[in-house]
A and B are shown apart, each in its own frame.
Chain A
Amino acid sequence: MTDTPDPDTARARAAHQFIQALPHCRALSMTVQDVGAGEATVAMPWSAQIVGDPRTGVVHGGAVSALMDTTGGAAVLSHPTAPVSTATMDLRIDYMRAATPHQTITARAVCHHVTRSVAFVRAEAFDEETDKGPVAVANGAFTLDRGTRT
């Protein structure tokens, strides 16, 4: 890169591009809500195709996993040390309660520690009834690719 763009805008742009470039995120209509230094918030609207229990309309845990994984990756890429790419190594999700049908699920991930090659991430997902606590929480380890080795 030849110029030095404003870090906040560059970060937001990178995160939007990151999500928009991922076919599966488009398939699930995920949108970036907010991006900070090593933090990201991504929303996923309810839709009939991601339902796990047709009798209740509750979203499948797997779709929540996809949202958690995406949000975690976005948080890693928005870290101030500017990694060029990342991949999930390990992700553990605890399902606290069923998400209320027809509500958007929003996940917020924080990249709470970074080493030269690994990023540690925590994430929480809420439906629209935030007072009920998170729908799910996640912990993950992501690879960090810095492009050049020094």
Chain B
Amino acid sequence: MKTPEPIQIIKQRRDAALHALVSGVPYIKFLDITFDRRGDELTGVLHYDPKLIGNPMLPALHGGVTAAFLEVTAIVTLSWALIWDDLESGRIDGEALTPETLPRLPKTIDFSVDYLRAGLPRDAYARARVNRSGRRYSSVHVEAWQDNRDRLFAQGTGHFLMPPRGE
């Protein structure tokens, strides 16, 4: 019988791959978005900073920041789902993965944001669900909240062009 992989090795491989996916993108760093991982589930975390404010009178997060946070979470979640199988089967070596050696990522075709309430000057969280992942196109829905998971402050849906397979 095959010995199961030690848990640290599995975590290391998955976290290294996630790091490669996220750390190479300057704009994700600029907004200070990080990702929490539980198994294959990702939660985007937008760390609050005064430069994210749109309306200083309220104050509220800039609508563009909210849109960008949703879009980043959608595209990272979709990319993560795309590499997950290859990562788990060993076709991709997670530990050796760098932003330079990543497979090609999906591109946004369109993105639609629904602003439900003002974004407060504090951390925000987002989770995306891949509703359809086809060979060429996919559709992703994403929800964002702050203090209370049931009180979304924004949600979005986007369509993405998938990278060509089997190069």
Contacts and interface: CB of A to CB of B under 8 A. Distances in A.
B112 interface: yes
B112 A90 contact: yes
Interface in A37-71: 48-55, 59-63, 65-70
A42 to B, nearest CB: 11
A52 B69 CA distance: 13
Interface stretch (A7-15, A23-31, A115-123, A126-134): A23-31
Contact of A65 (B52, B55, B71, B118): B71
Contact of B68 (A22, A63, A95): A63
Interface of A: 21-27, 48-55, 59-63, 65-70, 73, 85, 87-95
Interface in B110-128: 110-115, 118
A94 B64 contact: no
Nearest to B100: A55
Contacts of A22: 53-56, 62
A88 B63 CA distance: 7
29 contacts: A21-B56, A24-B51, A24-B53, A24-B64, A25-B62, A50-B27, A51-B27, A54-B24, A55-B100, A59-B27, A60-B28, A60-B72, A61-B111, A62-B71, A63-B64, A65-B111, A66-B65, A67-B64, A69-B63, A69-B64, A85-B55, A90-B112, A91-B63, A91-B115, A92-B112, A93-B110, A93-B112, A94-B109, A95-B110
A69 B62 contact: yes
Nearest to A65: B67
A137 B4 CA distance: 51
A60 B55 contact: no
Contacts of B64: 24, 62-63, 65-70
